A and B are shown apart, each in its own frame.
Chain A
Amino acid sequence: NAGVMQNPRHLVRRRGQEARLRCSPMKGHSHVYWYRQLPEEGLKFMVYLQKENIIDESGMPKERFSAEFPKEGPSILRIQQVVRGDSAAYFCASSPNLPGTGYGGYTFGSGTRLTVV
């Protein structure tokens, strides 16, 4: 029973390149959340998706960032034209039901650590 799978674990990109982060939720989970973790800042919510729908993207930067969760395949967080400030750990989590309700919160992946050089 695999947990939330994120890949790659580590990603190095040069400024201006694109970064694509993948997340496969736990089996039976239909809700996916992306969070960004910067040192000393904790986890910041970015986006909440269900299959083929973006439910809440209030935490996503307005430019260069996008996310999808297609009918088939993993959820993708895409960062275009990366800058040094995008360097962070990006965590994906999944849940089987409404967020925070009755099912133990979220199950997190191990994260993707993006370094922009």
Chain B
Amino acid sequence: AQSVTQLDSQVPVFEEAPVELRCNYSSSVSVYLFWYVQYPNQGLQLLLKYLSGSTLVKGINGFEAEFNKSQTSFHLRKPSVHISDTAEYFCAVSDSGNTPLVFGKGTRLSVIA
């Protein structure tokens, strides 16, 4: 079964600084990878996804992620964060079969003014 590890439970960062949120998944022949964002008391919103093709994926709100098959990673990055990026971020994976998304435990990003 697939599993996802988000290595950092909390990441504090100053406004306008770059940020990287790390995600590793268990190996599989093929995977679909996703990052979701959850603002307080809300549901999850899709940030970006990797299905196939280019390993660098661009999403909403200036976020991007890079799929690295050899390291089984899908780290999320943003070159300059804003206060409004404060939220919880979830990495998720699905294999090519008929199985539901598996989520990591989340990383709480706190942007400090």
A residues near B (Cβ < 8 Å) are 4, 6, 33, 35, 40-45, 48, 55-56, 91, 93, 98-102, 104-111, 113
Known contacts A40-B105, A42-B90, A42-B105, A105 near B46 by CB under 8 Å: yes
Closest to A41 in B: B105
B34 close to A (CB within 8 Å): yes
Contacting residues of chain B (68-99) with chain A, CB-CB under 8 angstroms = 90, 92-96, 98-99
The 10 nearest A-B residue pairs measured at CB: A100-B94, A42-B105, A108-B43, A43-B103, A108-B44, A110-B43, A100-B32, A105-B34, A42-B106, A45-B100
Q: Are A100 and B43 in contact (CB-based, < 8 A)?
A: no
A-B CB contact pairs (8 Å), 25 listed? A6-B43, A33-B101, A40-B105, A42-B103, A42-B105, A43-B90, A45-B102, A45-B103, A91-B43, A93-B44, A98-B98, A100-B34, A100-B95, A100-B101, A101-B51, A101-B96, A102-B51, A104-B46, A105-B32, A105-B94, A105-B101, A108-B36, A109-B43, A111-B43, A113-B41
Q: Which residues of A contact B100 (CB under 8 A)?
A: 33, 45, 48, 56, 99-100
Q: How far is the CA of A99 from the CA of B34 in the complex (A)?
A: 12
- In the assembled complex, how far is the CB of residue A67 from the closest CB belonging to chain B, in whole angstroms? 13
Report A-chain residues with C-beta under 8 Å of the C-beta of B61.
none
Q: How far is the CA of A43 from the CA of B87 in the complex (A)?
A: 15
Can you name the residue of chain A whose Cβ is closest to the Cβ of B9?
Answer: A40
Kindly provide the distance from the CB of A73 to the nearest chain B CB, expressed in whole angstroms: 21
